[in-house]
Structure 1
Amino acid sequence: MARPTQASTIECGRDAAKHFSFASGYCNLNHGSFGSYPLAVRDVLRHYQDEAEAKPDTFIRYDYPKLLDKSREALANYLNAPLSSIVLLSNATTGINTVLRSLVYKPNEVIIYFATIYGACEKTVEYITETTPASSHKISYTYPIPDDDLLSRFEHAISTIQSNGQTPKLAIFDTIVSLPGVRMPFARLTQLCKRHNILSCIDGAHGIGQIPLDLTALDPDFFVSNCHKWLHVPRGCAGFYVPERNQHLIRSTLPTSHGFIPVPRDGAVINNPLPPGSGKSAFVTNFEFVGTLDNSPYLCIPAALRWRSRLCWQGKQGEEAITAYTQHLAREAGGVVSGVLGTEVMENAEGTLGECNFSNVRLPISFVAHASSDPNQAVKIGHWIAKVLTEEYNTFIAIIFYAEAWWVRLSSQVYLTIADFEWGGKVLQEVCQRVRKGEWQGRESSKL
């Protein structure tokens, strides 16, 4: 891709903010949950939606597959992965479900997962253990802990499972945990999986577009990541990577659609109303059409990458500028907000948890004094804070009650500046004061 001219560059910060369609006065401090995309990408999205409406059958049956291949190619190049290994689906949760529900489990086979797994994925593991012979093993810990400690706990879990006469089949772990927003040593965990002959399934929901990824070097068994969170692609869109060595394990999409190839039976023929394939693999064809949806977001990956290539900061351009700016801003934001609140940022001794676009800051609220040491009350306080932020302060900040404390997850992004987080820190200070006065229980109704 040619380097953009100086006139077409976009400076990270206030200049980049002009390219987004947030409502006037709204401060988006929670990019991590649902992402957002610039106006240039919105125009491409709507173009494809218009094309689908102009000639539905022509577009969906014949044009869409070709455009989809271009998006897959753009994402494969971005991730340094073979084109044959990349397909698109709606979100990371669907990808994790696809892996877990596709594998065939034998008695005494175990799924290993970590305590900070995304809730929907943990529930999927529970479903699998209820409906198949598989069992699960949850690795417990509390952040912040050193990466070496986490790796040791993983190896201990493997030894424990094996000593019980069981077989570790699959391990699920994140690139970056959702809540709290911390980076996991996913590359080292992947290597341990290889050493112990365990399938690695990486939930990279917060990976693509946030941290550099080289899937050829990483070489996981399964990897899925949302493009709509950090790559500036419209919702919902995710990349799903399965190397050719494992594609035979993923026989069905969710839901099962026309690309599924049943075990041959005499006389059994199932009609497929779609145009015949064009030499693509069974794996790629399987994911090409999974029911009727608005798949226009899938086609916006090239446009998002083109827009990102225009971003600049301190002499850096494109992806290098984005990573440098957002990670610098996340660290700076954590320091500013924790300073305003008089608390601390969640980090381990090595400083690896914060090598991403998140900072987690503890709120100055006492579990004992303000929630009566009751976890249920603590959760209610968290919900109250979230609602107040949206209804009265025109923002949202992700909050989690974790390890007997409330933490906010700050999301940095190219359209934000440190001034936004200075404001956010003051808002949190005010809201926490309202909590301490008991307003969350309805005892006080006036805003301070």
Structure 2
Amino acid sequence: MLELDVDTECPPPFGLFARNQLFFLSEEITFANHGSFGTVARPVMELQRRLHDTTETCPEEWFRITSYPLWLESCQTVAEFVGTTAENVVLVDNATTAVNCVLKSLRFTKNDAILVSDHTYGAVEYTALAVSDITEAAVVTHVFPFPIESVEQFVGSFEAALRADPRIRIAIIDHICSVSALLLPVRRLIDICRSRNVLVLVDGAHAPGQVPIDLTYLDPDYYTGNFHKWVYAPRGCCVLYINPKHHDKINPLVTSWYWKKSLHERFYQQATRDITSWLCAKPAIQFYRWLGGMEKITAYNSSLSQWASALLASKWKTAEQQIPAEMRAPNMSVIALPSNIGYDNTAADADRLMKDIAKKHKVWVAMTCFSNRLWCRISSQVYNVRDDYERVAEAVLDMMKH
């Protein structure tokens, strides 16, 4: 049994005290981009190191006897966290891996199409395009209406995209869009797909720990979500939910000794590898609950994110994203960057700007591009404080001078 070991009954207050006590972040950086790679909690990392030590005391015992029951224990804990049963979930490295597992397991033909959107995560879109190259299935893009005036407008645009192309066999839907921090009405979108006999793969990379997930209620065909972002797990810890009717269709990317065995066995046994990140899902969830769980964590993060979003829009004389309140992710916000910042409206220049700011100011914040303009995406976590976003604001203003 894996159990988290924390020194005190009560966690430290959020902000700088939590940053110093619970995380490894360097004092030299401003870290306003938790959403991209997360950062591992100290107690969870310490447990992973103990697992590494245990592995090396007797690798034979670890791989042949010890690790599989711990894997099953992690699957059980993760399943409860996302509102399903253990037999429907497996653990993979990240959401991109999960999407690859699903799309590369399905048998597409040139008469099929895969629906993505203009806000789909780049690696996921590339996976769809790679599958298209092999199978000749088309990749169709749903262009989001922007600005989004209402949930009804958005849902209507999605339904129209499905209606326009009867070849669509599977729709890839973000729970929270990485590029724009949009929280999508996934249950409504799933229902629309069901009514048209279209499979649904929900990319929930940013969802676990940020919004409640009840997969029994949502009932997608496939769902994936990272635990190394908002649940403080080590990187390489992600859930892949597979609806019971599809258990026999989906396989891991690596075929190994448990080929054609049960779903759990196939995904557990992917040759010799370090699975301790997967095993840390349970202690990460314990840490998350010890901090106060979703209610307390989201209350802090959401308040900070909203304050920071308004601050940046004011400082830069731009605007926050124009979307319905119910489509805003709790811990993330997107703010338009000044048009005269000196970088082109491309994903490549958004990445260049992000790295230039980090190099010059030691400020890490995500820069994205959609709807033909550059945006700043902030993430708020329990270690962030208002001063972090003041430094983000000043760093961008300084870049405009050069």
Same fold, judged at TM 0.5 (above): yes
Distance 1:179 1:215 in 2: 24
Moved more, 108-117 or 140-149: 140-149
Per-residue deviation at 1:133?
4.4
Helix, strand or coil for the counterpart of 1:309? Answer: helix
Given that 1:347 and 1:353 are in contact with CA atoms closer than 8 Å, whether structure 2 keeps it comes out as: no
Given that 2:363 and 2:395 are in contact with CA atoms closer than 8 Å, whether structure 1 keeps it comes out as: no
1:302 paired residue among 261, 267, 282: 282
1:152 paired residue among 139, 150, 156: 156
Distance 1:401 1:171 in 2: 22
* Residue in 1 that maps onto 2:259: 260
The C-alpha deviation readout for 1:184-222, integer Å capped at 9, x for no partner, is 222211111122221110011111111111111111100
5+ residue gaps, structure 1: 262-280, 312-316, 440-448
Distance 1:84 1:381, change over 3 A: closer
Partner amino acid for 2:178?
S
1:86 paired residue among 89, 105, 117: 89
Q: TM-score, normalised by structure 1?
A: 0.83
Distance 1:142 1:179 in 2: 15
The C-alpha deviation readout for 1:142-180, integer Å capped at 9, x for no partner, is 543233223212222222223xxx4x3111010111112
The C-alpha deviation readout for 1:122-144, integer Å capped at 9, x for no partner, is 11111222211422321123543
Q: TM-score, normalised by structure 2?
A: 0.93
Distance 1:216 1:381 in 2: 41
The reply on whether 1:355 has 2:329 as its aligned counterpart is: yes
The reply on whether 1:43 has 2:23 as its aligned counterpart is: no
* Residue in 2 that maps onto 1:343: 318
Distance 2:288 2:12 in 1: 9
Partner amino acid for 1:404?
N
* Residue in 1 that maps onto 2:169: 169
* Residue in 1 that maps onto 2:269: 289
Partner amino acid for 2:339?
I
Distance 2:300 2:82 in 1: 20
Given that 1:113 and 1:171 are in contact with CA atoms closer than 8 Å, whether structure 2 keeps it comes out as: yes
* Residue in 1 that maps onto 2:65: 62
The C-alpha deviation readout for 1:20-77, integer Å capped at 9, x for no partner, is 0111222211111111111111100101111111111111221011111111111111
| Identical pairs, percent | 29
Distance 1:319 1:381, change over 3 A: closer
* Residue in 1 that maps onto 2:305: 330
The C-alpha deviation readout for 1:343-368, integer Å capped at 9, x for no partner, is 111131x223323311111112338x
* Residue in 1 that maps onto 2:358: 390
Aligned residues: 396
Per-residue deviation at 1:408?
0.6
Distance 1:225 1:428, change over 3 A: same
* Residue in 1 that maps onto 2:339: 365
5+ residue gaps, structure 2: none
Helix, strand or coil for the counterpart of 2:375? Answer: strand
Helix, strand or coil for the counterpart of 2:280? Answer: helix
* Residue in 2 that maps onto 1:445: none
Helix, strand or coil for the counterpart of 1:138? Answer: strand
Distance 2:267 2:201 in 1: 19
Partner amino acid for 2:174?
D
2:375 paired residue among 407, 424, 427: 407
Given that 1:257 and 1:286 are in contact with CA atoms closer than 8 Å, whether structure 2 keeps it comes out as: yes
Distance 2:235 2:56 in 1: 19
Given that 1:331 and 1:354 are in contact with CA atoms closer than 8 Å, whether structure 2 keeps it comes out as: no
Given that 1:366 and 1:405 are in contact with CA atoms closer than 8 Å, whether structure 2 keeps it comes out as: no
